[in-house]
Structure 1
Amino acid sequence: MMAVKVTSILIYPIKSCRGISVSEAPLSSTGVRWDRQWLVVNSKGRACTQRVEPKLALVQVELPQDAFAAAWKPTNTSYLVIRAPGMDELKVSLCRPSQTCDGVSVWEWSGSALDEGDEASKWFTNYLGKPSRLVRFNEELETRPVEPSYAPGPGFRIMFSDGAPFLLVSQESLDSLNERLEEPVPINRFRPNILVDGCEPFSEDLWKEIRIESLTFSGIKLCSRCKVPTINQETAVSASEPTETLMKFRLGKDLCPGKKGQGMVFFGQNMVCHDNLHEENGKIIKVGDPVYVLKTFSSYDETST
């Protein structure tokens, strides 16, 4: 067994907005607690992401410091604080809103969500320059399962993530990419939840099963990358890199000939956790936790894309 270390844990409360780096985080049945729990939608209820609204990269979010304690519950004075250039600070109560919004869609999923109200709607409408609303995933009424062809078995769910509860990337993979770039890029271009250190570059591609503390995770799908890695997260300006360089050595046709996604680039591993993750169980991952690689795929032919 090979020991690796967790070096960063990153959470993105609002999909496509800036992430939060934490030293430890409780896990839930949909991933890291608070991850992609909120979503900005347009006038038709469709998800707004950096793919079409790169300005979302500049939206900073803040949660109460205690929000990452396992047993913490929000009170009437608990807020999600949202900031962006040229905008007044917005505070969104963490207590469950009473309004709902029907017809919310993200990729293949559609359903109802909790509406964070007119003040939040006005804030994002002014910031993006088009009618927008902020919604929260409605866990009491809605379920969004992970695609069963990738994660067969009961209970694998997500909120507004693209497709999996966890995304893991190694520092060595980022370093290997940066050695090929004229201007290195930071890890925030790839928006992982778990960054690890201490392995060979891209070895996480072949991790079939790992353990972090007492929790068992399975790699279910190599992460295909969209436009977002080309967007500078400090300026919201898009360029050709790092995708142009990734296309030289991380294309599907080179990694997994014959599988779907031949023209896509891959970076990172999508994962699910096999443990029964409920908030009351108090299961937490921490920076510094050892990562044990228990099983590996023998080749890229065995992986999913």
Structure 2
Amino acid sequence: MYLSNLYLYPIKSIAPLEVASAEVEPRGLRDDRRWMVVDADGRFLTGRQLPRLTLVRAQPGAEGLVLDAPGMPSLQVAFPDADATLPVSVWKSQVAARPAAAAADAWLSEFLQRPARLVHMDAGVSRVMTDPHSQPGDEVSFADGFPLLLISRAALDGLNARLARPVSMLRFRPNLVVDGVPAHAEDGWKRIRIGGVAFDVAKPCTRCVFTTVDPERGERDPDGEPLKTLIGYRRSGDGVTFGQNLIPRSGGMVRVGDGVEIIA
């Protein structure tokens, strides 16, 4: 039982960045979902409304990000001024984020073909978790609700065996992929350790229409897959679930190849 893949999403909803190792912070993996695209009113934008957002790629660096997308020039985006704030919302959270320079807004607006702004979450920006599975003091990045998402490789294999056209693990946007366990074994875990880092397995991840967006094309699947098939065998009282949300309970590095230990 081991960690087979590690993914970051430097900006919420964009293309994944596969890495060999990552530092686990209280909010999740370092550089994961610390940036977000918002509309003119500060409301978060995702691939649910804008599938083209999944075609944007970002490379984190010491000075900020480098953005790339089909048909667009590369753009260097510096970390915003730590004194500037812009009120933004992500689901029910209200966050005083840091606004990026106007050039980043213009670049994203041109590619997405609608007004958009880019904001950043630095160490001085806080988003407190309010989920019943969290503990006092728990924080989260611009991720939907939890710091990390884990899926077993066998869960995807089981889904693909039911589909006419197999889909990539990236339809589900995990941070951690675990190999060497039966399909959906993660549903029964409460606490795990990967390498030397401990995590609470908080709750199943409820899936939505975002799973129907093909990240290679930036378009929705016209057949509504794989959500249509998942409804047939992964539906529960909580909705359609696939994967588990995690909350870190210690810090440190995780690396591809690390063993996964069930603590409880």
1:83 Cα deviation after fit: 0.7
Q: Residues 77 and 101 of structure 2 are in contact (CA less than 8 Å); yes or no, is this contact kept in structure 1?
A: no
2:159 to 151, 156, 177: 177
Change (3 A) 1:132 1:99: farther
Amino acid paired to 1:35: D
Change (3 A) 1:79 1:102: closer
Is 1:291 paired with 2:260?
yes
**Could you say which residue in structure 2 is the equivalent of 1:97?**
81
Query: Alpha-carbon deviations, 1:89-108, whole Å to 9, x = none?
Result: 11112x44356343211000
How high is the TM-score relative to the length of structure 2? 0.95
Question: Distance between the aligned counterparts of 1:210 and 1:114, measured in 2?
Answer: 34
Any residues of structure 2 matched to 1:198-277 within 5 Å, and which?
A: 198-239=180-221, 240-253=224-237, 261=238, 264-275=239-250, 277=251
Question: Distance between the aligned counterparts of 1:166 and 1:105, measured in 2?
Answer: 20
Q: Residues 60 and 82 of structure 1 are in contact (CA less than 8 Å); yes or no, is this contact kept in structure 2?
A: yes
Question: Distance between the aligned counterparts of 1:16 and 1:135, measured in 2?
Answer: 13
Amino acid paired to 1:271: L
What 5-or-longer segments of structure 2 have no aligned partner? Answer: none
Q: Equivalent residue of 1:245, what SS?
A: helix
Q: Residues 10 and 192 of structure 1 are in contact (CA less than 8 Å); yes or no, is this contact kept in structure 2?
A: yes
Amino acid paired to 1:107: W
Q: Equivalent residue of 1:173, what SS?
A: helix
Q: Equivalent residue of 2:108, what SS?
A: helix
Q: Equivalent residue of 1:55, what SS?
A: helix
Question: Distance between the aligned counterparts of 1:129 and 1:224, measured in 2?
Answer: 29
Question: Distance between the aligned counterparts of 1:188 and 1:124, measured in 2?
Answer: 22
Q: Equivalent residue of 1:97, what SS?
A: coil
Amino acid paired to 1:143: S
Change (3 A) 1:103 1:96: closer
Q: Equivalent residue of 1:8, what SS?
A: strand
Question: Distance between the aligned counterparts of 1:30 and 1:205, measured in 2?
Answer: 22
Question: Distance between the aligned counterparts of 2:80 and 2:112, measured in 1?
Answer: 25
Is 1:145 paired with 2:142?
no
Q: Equivalent residue of 1:25, what SS?
A: strand
Question: Distance between the aligned counterparts of 2:164 and 2:131, measured in 1?
Answer: 40
Greater Rg, structure 1 or structure 2? 1
1:123 Cα deviation after fit: 0.5
1:154 Cα deviation after fit: 3.0
1:147 Cα deviation after fit: 2.5
**Could you say which residue in structure 1 is the equivalent of 2:14?**
17
Is 1:129 paired with 2:113?
yes
Greater CA deviation, 78-87 or 5-14?
A: 78-87
Q: Residues 13 and 35 of structure 1 are in contact (CA less than 8 Å); yes or no, is this contact kept in structure 2?
A: yes
1:193 Cα deviation after fit: 0.5
Q: Equivalent residue of 2:146, what SS?
A: coil
**Could you say which residue in structure 2 is the equivalent of 1:68?**
none
Q: Equivalent residue of 2:44, what SS?
A: coil
Amino acid paired to 2:133: Y
Amino acid paired to 2:130: E
Q: Residues 86 and 99 of structure 2 are in contact (CA less than 8 Å); yes or no, is this contact kept in structure 1?
A: no
**Could you say which residue in structure 2 is the equivalent of 1:71?**
none
